[in-house]
Amino acid sequence: MKKKQKPQELDLNGIHAALLEILIKFDEICREHGLAYSLAYGTLIGAVRHKGFIPWDDDVDVVMTRPEYERFYAMVQSGEIDLGDRFALSADRGKKAFYPFLKLMDKTRPIKRWSQREVPYLFIDIFPLDGAPKGEKEIKKLRKKRFRYSAIMALSRWAVPEHKWMLVFRALGFPFYLGATLYGMSRAVRKANALATKTKFGESENCSLFCFDVEQWLMPCEAFTWFTELLFEGHRFQAIAAYDEWLTKIYGDYMTPPPPNKQMKHNLKVLCK
């Protein structure tokens, strides 16, 4: 009897190639159905600075305005957009919600992450942009509440560490993990999304990513209605025309690569079925 072969682990170049396949699929869907999106964050920097992936990066980020995001979701749910057997969306609502944003996953690429539980397959992140409340005071209040839900979601995803020295850290933080688990991942996701969508996109002058993390940037909503195309790994993808203004708001001098100790990676272990 032949031994069952272990799934092959992809190196960084393999991860880049696999992520690119998911991004191409997403772009094809958006073009076919007239959906607008923009490359975002490190993926957008990679397109501008490297014409492809940042050499050490191991993820892909895109953003959609909330109306486009909801239209995309509804079309997938109704079957108007057919993802086939290979691709699937993660849940951003309901009892199975794991994040307050969507991930387009490739079911032929299982993943593992030593520090946190994750969705089961390699993915690209699809972030929704929402309207900013009027007034700095209201924005600060929203961000403060959102940070609380983001912390609960992060603690709820906390996995048992592989390194023994991390067990001490896990033991000390266990009460926080237990509290977050009791509060509930899906409940935190629901609260985060309700908070983020309180001000509708376009009802105020500015927008941002309010459903997750601790974003501090604001951009005019109008900026996400004008698009260009940028070359990324030999393919052209959508980006907002004001990408330089946006990246400068987020990162400052984004054209200068950070020192090695600040080159962030997600440390995903990606397998090939």
β partners of residue 270 = 111
- Which residues, other chains included, contact 175 with Cβ-Cβ below 8 Å and sequence gap of 6+? none
- Which residues, other chains included, contact 204 with Cβ-Cβ below 8 Å and sequence gap of 6+? 131, 132, 133, 134, 221
pLDDT of 100 over the 90 cut: yes
Tokens (6 digits) for 30: 């958006």
> What one-character DSSP code corresponds to residue 116?
B
> What one-character DSSP code corresponds to residue 262?
G
| pLDDT one-digit tens code per residue, 230-267 | 999 999 999 999 999 999 999 999 999 988 877 777 77
| Side-chain half-sphere exposure of 133, counting CA atoms within 13 A | 14
CA distance 84 to 108: 12
Specify the pTM: 0.91
CA distance 92 to 86: 19
Give the burial string for 159-196 (b: 16+ CB within 10 Å, else e).
eeeeeeeeeeeeeeeeeeeeebeebbbbbbbbbbbebb
pLDDT of 138 over the 90 cut: yes
Find the length of the chain.
273
| pLDDT one-digit tens code per residue, 218-228 | 999 999 999 99
| pLDDT one-digit tens code per residue, 107-123 | 999 998 765 677 899 99
β partners of residue 269 = 112
Query: What pLDDT, on a 0 to 100 scale, did the predictor assign at position 161?
Result: 54
Query: What pLDDT, on a 0 to 100 scale, did the predictor assign at position 175?
Result: 77
- Which residues, other chains included, contact 260 with Cβ-Cβ below 8 Å and sequence gap of 6+? none
Query: What pLDDT, on a 0 to 100 scale, did the predictor assign at position 18?
Result: 97
Which comes out higher in pLDDT, residue 168 or 271? 271
| pLDDT one-digit tens code per residue, 50-96 | 999 999 999 999 999 999 999 999 999 999 999 999 999 999 999 99
CA distance 248 to 252: 4
Query: What pLDDT, on a 0 to 100 scale, did the predictor assign at position 213?
Result: 76
* Sequence ranges of the domains in the chain: 9-252
| pLDDT one-digit tens code per residue, 20-62 | 999 999 999 999 999 999 999 999 999 999 999 999 999 999 9
| pLDDT one-digit tens code per residue, 186-213 | 999 999 999 999 999 989 999 999 998 7
In degrees and rounded to multiples of 5, residue 5 shows phi and psi of: -70, 140
CA-nearest of 58, 46, 13 to 257 is 46
Gyration radius (Cα) of the chain, Å: 19
| pLDDT one-digit tens code per residue, 151-193 | 888 887 776 555 555 555 566 667 777 777 888 889 999 999 9
Mean pLDDT of 131-140: 92
pLDDT of 145 over the 60 cut: yes
Decide: 122 and 15 in contact? Cβ < 8 Å.
Answer: yes
- With the CA atoms of 238, 243, 246 and 249 taken in that order, what torsion angle do they form, in degrees rounded to the nearest 10? 140
Supply the mean pLDDT for the chain.
89
